[in-house]
């Protein structure tokens, strides 16, 4: 009797222990804000354009594989060769024994590509942002961050314990006001995405460079969605505007146009040397597997040389954006392969995404907190390896259910 009472109490405690999670989950469910991890069963072919998800074949308009390199035979061959030479894992942090010679080659080539003194590779873009910001600023400092910056920037600021001032999106006047108001802070850091990940528009870098000089602030930019996509040799927005020497830290990722994984920064020697000593994600997380670095090295060669691929991406993105705008979609202000179809309501956005999936298109719904409340959207991304026929078909599918969208689908 006693033992069954104890067992009952234990079961009750277990149930009760997670009741708050279930309650919160149900609250999120009512607001159409829960998220599910879907299993991609297969990528069909080497263009990365088609995937099979839970038995359905879908045109992938939701990846960041802008140049279509993630399934490129050259990247795969480089990775396999590196596995033969170096094995599958890095076995330790970069500061212990995890930094194989491929890293040195990659960092030298990155610094040369970006025309900066030095580069530092991190295990991911998230770690680069979080690790750089939390090392460069701390208590008594102030970070000025665009309201639409990526979550990894926000998390880096929170970890740093510096004061966090969010300026209105792409509003240099508001930034100047905040800089003036907090000019007494010990150190000031301005940070921005160069291409905004959910909107596809670009930062007003010349204004930010001017404010950097006026207020003696540091300026850090996140080129995650610009690397490989903008600039003559895919360097990013800073190069495209000739401002790459006016910026303290240029951050980027290999997880998008490079078709691989990892993050990096390019900066002056002093900055890189300091970060290698102070950045916690770099110190306390295992280095990327050598095979990843090998595929990134191959991707870098392609990114730098294959201007045709970049031009094709730009032409296709421009075409799709214009076609969708001509159909009456609200496509945002950008000029990049990220095309947001702003819908607003969470539930409506989910329904539209599901309907597109039924029609054979993977176009994922993006909802808060990834985007501000009331701006839920379908975020379309174009790849250089999409064919014109695929994009035409997709545009027609999107249009064919637009009327349903206006009136509410389902």
- Summarize as ranges the residues that interact with ligand PLP (CB under 6 A): 124-126, 129, 150, 152, 193, 197, 222, 224-225, 253, 255, 263
| d(C-alpha 116, C-alpha 266), whole Å | 6
Say which of 188, 256, 316, 386 is annotated catalytic.
Answer: 256
Phi and psi of 340, rounded to 5°? -90, 130
Is 56 marked active-site? no
Chain residue at closest Cβ approach to ligand PLP = 125
Per-residue DSSP letter, 344:
E
Query: Of the residues 150, 188, 225, 386, which is catalytic?
Result: 225
Q: Taking CA 193 as the corner, what is the angle to CA 328 and CA 105, rounded to the nearest 5 degrees?
A: 125
Min dist. Cβ of residue 186 to ligand PLP (A): 26
Tokens found for residue 77: 């061959």
Cβ proximity to ligand PLP, 144 vs 215, nearer residue: 144
**Closest separation between CB of residue 329 and ligand PLP, Å?**
22
Q: Starting from the edge strand earliest in sequence, which strands make up the sheet with 50-53, in order? A: 40-44, 50-53, 56-60, 361-362
Closest to ligand PLP by CB, 93 vs 399, is 93
Cβ atoms of residues 377 and 371 within 8 Å: yes
Task: Work out the number of other CB atoms within 10 angstroms of the CB of residue 146.
Answer: 24
Considering the complex, what minimum distance in angstroms separates the CB of residue 66 from ligand PLP? Answer: 12
Least distance to ligand PLP, CB of residue 166, Å: 16
- Give Cα separations from 134 to 126, 155, 294 (angstroms): 12, 9, 29
Q: Indicate if 197 belongs to the active site.
A: yes
Nearer to ligand PLP, 132 or 320 (CB): 132
State the residue for tokens 């990834």.
370
Which residue number, 158 or 176, has a Cβ lying nearer to ligand PLP? Answer: 158
Query: How far, in Å, CA of 246 to CA of 255, rounded?
Result: 25
Which residues 6+ apart lie within 8 Å of 322 measured at CB?
Answer: none
Given the residues 99, 197, 255, 353, select the one marked as catalytic: 197
Distance between CA atoms of 129 and 352, rounded to whole angstroms? Answer: 33
**Which residue, 205 or 395, is less far from ligand PLP as judged by CB?**
205
| 56 beta partners | 53
256 is catalytic: yes
CB of 256 to ligand PLP, least distance (A): 7
- The residues annotated as belonging to the active site are 197, 225, 256
């Amino acid at each position: 009797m006693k033992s069954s009472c104890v067992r009952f109490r234990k079961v009750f405690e277990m149930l009760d222990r997670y009741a708050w999670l279930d309650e919160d989950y149900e609250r999120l469910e009512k607001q159409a804000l829960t998220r599910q991890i879907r299993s991609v069963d297969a990528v069909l072919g080497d263009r990365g354009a088609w995937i099979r998800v839970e038995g359905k074949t879908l045109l992938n308009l939701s990846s960041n594989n802008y140049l279509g390199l993630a399934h490129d035979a050259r990247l795969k061959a480089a990775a396999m060769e590196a596995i033969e030479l170096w094995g599958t894992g890095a076995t330790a942090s970069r500061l212990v024994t995890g930094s194989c010679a491929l890293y040195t080659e990659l960092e030298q080539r990155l610094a040369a590509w970006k025309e900066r003194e030095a580069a530092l590779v991190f295990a991911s873009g998230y770690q680069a942002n979080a690790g750089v910001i939390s090392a460069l600023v701390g208590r008594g400092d102030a970070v000025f961050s665009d309201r639409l910056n990526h979550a990894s920037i926000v998390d880096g600021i929170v970890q740093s314990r510096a004061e966090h001032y969010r300026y209105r999106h792409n509003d240099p006047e508001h930034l100047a006001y905040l800089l003036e108001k907090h000019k007494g802070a010990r150190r000031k850091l301005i940070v921005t995405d160069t291409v905004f990940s959910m909107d596809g528009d670009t930062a007003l870098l010349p204004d930010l460079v001017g404010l950097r000089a006026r207020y003696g602030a540091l300026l850090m930019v996140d080129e995650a969605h610009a690397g490989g996509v903008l600039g003559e040799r895919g360097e990013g927005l800073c190069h495209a505007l000739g401002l790459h020497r006016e910026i303290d830290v240029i951050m980027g990722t290999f997880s998008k146009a490079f078709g691989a994984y990892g993050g990096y920064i390019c900066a002056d020697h002093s900055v890189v040397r300091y970060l290698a000593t102070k950045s916690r994600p770099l110190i306390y997380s295992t280095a990327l597997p050598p095979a990843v670095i090998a595929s990134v090295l191959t991707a870098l060669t392609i990114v730098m040389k294959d201007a045709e691929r970049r031009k094709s991406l730009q032409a296709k993105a421009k075409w799709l954006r214009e076609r969708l705008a001509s159909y009456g979609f609200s496509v945002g202000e950008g000029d990049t392969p990220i095309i947001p179809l702003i819908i607003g309501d969470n539930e409506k956005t989910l329904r539209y995404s599901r309907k597109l999936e039924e029609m054979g298109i993977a176009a994922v719904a993006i909802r808060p907190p990834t985007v501000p409340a009331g701006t839920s959207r379908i975020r379309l991304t174009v790849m250089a390896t999409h064919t014109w026929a695929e994009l035409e078909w997709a545009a027609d599918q999107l249009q064919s259910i637009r009327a349903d969208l206006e009136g509410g689908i389902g």
